[in-house]
């Protein structure tokens, strides 16, 4: 029986990332390598010393957890190699770029503010969307006053870009 991926492998696909998120990836890799992995390797060793490994649940769990840590380390290692850090602020010319905060208004007058980021840093709570998403693609390169058509699961909606910022809206 072969195991198939439920999502495509994007670990070696180039992309853009903010310096903050890149640092978080590095910190996660460092923690996994220097703290979590040695701790789990020790747990495997202790559980293995308890006898019959085939019926030892602690041994099985520790081996699975160690394998999960190793998979995550491989992913982070591959990702960190291909990501491009974008550490300069976008130009303040009213256009939408990577890292911009964009406020759009739909046909009913509802306003939403998004930040366009790389696919590795999307966050629904913060309203950070991927520049590769349908909404992100329709906003990139546009400017204040432009109308964009956004395809959603509920159908298409036309929105107008009412504001583009290079600093978070709450820090103004």
pLDDT of residue 111: 92
- CATH number where 56 lies: 1.10.287.180
Taking the chain (172 residues) in runs of 10, the rounded mean pLDDT of each run is: 59 82 95 96 88 79 93 93 89 89 90 92 91 90 91 84 85 58
> Is the same domain home to 67 and 116?
no
Q: Where are the beta strands (DSSP E) in the chain?
A: 15-17, 83-85, 101-106, 111-117, 128-130, 147-152, 155-165
The pLDDT score that the predictor gives to residue 13 is 73
Collect all residues with Cβ–Cβ distance below 8 Å to 127 and sequence separation of at least 6. 112, 113, 114, 115
Q: What pLDDT shows up at residue 74?
A: 94
pLDDT, tens digit, for every residue of 48-82?
888 777 777 888 889 999 999 999 999 999 999 99
**Final residue belonging to a domain, choices 85, 113, 144:** 85
Q: Is residue 4 part of a domain?
A: no
Domain membership of residue 81 as a residue range: 15-85
In the listed set 50, 85, 120, which residue is the last one of a domain according to the structure? 85
Q: What is the pLDDT, as a whole number, of residue 49?
A: 85
* Count of the separate structural domains present in the chain: 2
- The residue from 85, 119, 143 where one domain ends is 85
């Amino acid at each position: 029986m072969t195991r198939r991926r439920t999502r495509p492998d994007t670990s070696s696909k180039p992309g853009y990332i903010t310096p903050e998120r890149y640092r978080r990836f590095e910190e996660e890799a460092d923690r996994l390598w220097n703290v979590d992995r040695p701790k789990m390797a020790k747990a495997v060793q202790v559980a293995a010393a308890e006898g019959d490994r085939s019926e030892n649940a602690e041994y099985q769990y520790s081996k699975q957890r160690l394998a999960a840590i190793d998979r995550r380390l491989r992913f982070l290692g591959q990702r960190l190699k291909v990501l491009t850090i974008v550490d300069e602020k976008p130009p303040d010319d009213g256009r939408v770029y990577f890292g911009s905060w964009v406020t759009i208004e739909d046909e009913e007058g509802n306003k939403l503010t998004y930040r366009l980021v790389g696919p590795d840093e999307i966050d629904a709570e913060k309203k950070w969307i991927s520049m590769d998403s349908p909404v992100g693609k329709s906003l990139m390169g546009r400017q204040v006053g432009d109308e964009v058509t956004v395809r959603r699961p509920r159908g298409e909606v036309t929105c107008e870009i009412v504001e583009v910022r290079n600093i978070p809206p709450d820090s103004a």
